[in-house]
Each structure stands twice: as C-alpha cells, then as structure tokens.
Structure 1
Amino acid sequence: MARLQIDGGCHCGKIGYEANVDPANVIICHCTDCQANSGAPYRANVLVKAENFKLRGQPSTYVKTADSGNRRLLAFCSDCGSALYSTTVEDPRIYNVRLGSVNQRAQLTPRAQGFCRSAMPWAMDIRNIPQLPDPPAASSSPRRAARGRG
C-alpha cells in the first residue's frame, strides 16, 4: 500500500502537524491507560516515524508510567484538551498520533488491536447497537458539523 501524507491538529487550531504514514500502521489500543486517558473504550493511533512527523505549536505533555514500567509522554493541547500523540520519554523515534486528530482519518482503517484482554466486551462488535440520527448542522462548516456534540 502506498504511503499517505496526512495533516491534523487540535480542535481549536493552536497545534497542528503534518506526517507521512504507512496506512498499514493503524492500531486500536484497548489498554486501561488508553481508556482512562481518552475517556473512551479504546484509542486508535497511526504510528509515525519521527523523521516523518512535523509539529507546529507547542503541546502540553504528561508522562505516565505503564504497568510494564515504560514511561510514555502524552501530548495534548492545553487550550482545548485535544489528545495529539504519545511517544517514549527518552529518544522518541515513533509517534502514536491520535487518529481522531487526523484530518484524513476516514482513509486510515485500523489493521490490528492490542491489549484486547482489557477491551470492553461490547466494544468488539457494535453493529447491533441502534444508531441515532445526526443532529442538524449548526453551521455551514463540514468540519464543525462532523465534530458532533461531545
């Protein structure tokens, strides 16, 4: 599969990025840390090599220690709170860019899932959960309309 040039950033626009990614490197993480930090049942990421990642702006960071003892740096916007990426604290070589912050996210289908032992049992198949209709758009901006209520 061909590489894909992506861009994205936080909700308020203070922080942005560009990256060149391999679409095969999209994963879902069900670990309890990702659940707690995202406020969601899982987190989707696209892995990006450091040399293929260009950041604009200065995110705030938080360092967490995983059950394994590994220290991970989590980056987010201090103004709007958007999660942007995680990486190692020492010598970051790979960035786990949060798929929700990527403008081309619809083109990046997850190829693997990790930490499935921590997954919410219902999160593995949501096809039978009833779908609510989309609310009417409040503005003419397609990006704003796609953001939802959250």
Structure 2
Amino acid sequence: MSTTSYPVKGQCQCGSVSFVLKAVPKMVIACHCKKCQKLSTSAFSITCIVPTENIEIQGELKETRRVADSGNVNLGKFCPNCGNRIYQVNPAAPEMIKFKAGGCLDDTSMLVPTTHVWTSEKQSWVVIPDGVQQFEKQR
C-alpha cells in the first residue's frame, strides 16, 4: 500500500519541465507493447491515468503524433531539451491524460501497476504478479 501524500512534485531529467500531481491516479498501467518498450528503453512503460484537473505542468513541450491500433490519435508531449516523455493524450478525450510518471516524480511509491496491457508483446523474462489484471492487447 502506498504512503504517498499529495501533491507530489516532479520534473523531467533536465528540470526544464516540472509538474505537480495533485491526487491519486485513477489507474497505473504497465504497457508491454513494442512501441512503449522503445519509448521507455526498457521492458515496459508505466502510465498513470490522470484527470487533467489533477495535474499541473509547467515548461515548454514539443509533441509527436501517431495512430494507435484502435484508430485513436495518440498525441505525445515531451521535453524538447532532454526528450523525456511527459504525457500522452487522445485529442478526442482531453479530460484524461496518460502521464508517463516513470522515475520523474519525487515520490514513486504509488507507481504499482494494477493492470498490464499488451502482454502478447512482453519480454519473456518479465514475471507479472499473480492476481494482477492482464490483457494480451490494449483493452
């Protein structure tokens, strides 16, 4: 159980972009898709689903766009100086963001995934704990 007290502050690797997470994320997801493996340069990425009113972001951001398998547009925002991905959003549903919290928060104790997606593409050595929700593809 997390002992995190809110708000939680954080910043990108170079400190040019800072943020304040004001409340518990709605969901913490580990995504094992090949695109997230490339993005995180790891076996999976950690994403917090956060209502936009629960996060404040300061600093200049650049963006990338791609179309997900679902057909939804995936707009990614990142620091133009260090390249850290800060969040992703579907422009058709801007009230929720996919905050790429990773190691960028001062307190990461709440970053325990309750759901794993794209397990069909996960690294064979990754062991998902018993009782944690899993989906072979995006749900």
TM range (shorter): 0.7 to 0.9
- Aligned residue number for residue 136 of structure 2: none
- Aligned residue number for residue 103 of structure 1: 106
Is 1:70 aligned with 2:88?
Answer: no
- Aligned residue number for residue 58 of structure 2: 56
Q: How does 1:1-150 map to 2 (within 5 A)?
A: 4-22=6-24, 25-100=27-102, 101-124=104-127
Instruction: Report the AA paired with residue 79 of structure 1.
Output: N
Q: 1:4 to 1:27 in 2, by over 3 A?
A: farther
Of the two, which has the highest radius of gyration? 1
Higher-helix-fraction structure: 1
Unaligned runs of 5+ in 1: 126-150
- Distance in 2, matches of 1:99 and 1:55, equals 12
Q: Is the 8 A contact 1:64 1:73 kept in 2?
A: yes
Identity of aligned residues (%): 27
Q: Is the 8 A contact 2:39 2:45 kept in 1?
A: no
Q: Cα RMSD (Å) of the superposition?
A: 2.1
TM-score between both structures, scaled by the size of structure 2: 0.79
Q: 1:115 to 1:3 in 2, by over 3 A?
A: farther
Instruction: Report the AA paired with residue 112 of structure 2.
Output: T
TM-score between both structures, scaled by the size of structure 1: 0.74
Report the Cα offset of residue 82 of structure 1.
1.1
Instruction: Report the AA paired with residue 66 of structure 2.
Output: K
The count of aligned residue pairs is 125
Unaligned runs of 5+ in 2: 129-139
SS of residue paired to 1:95: strand
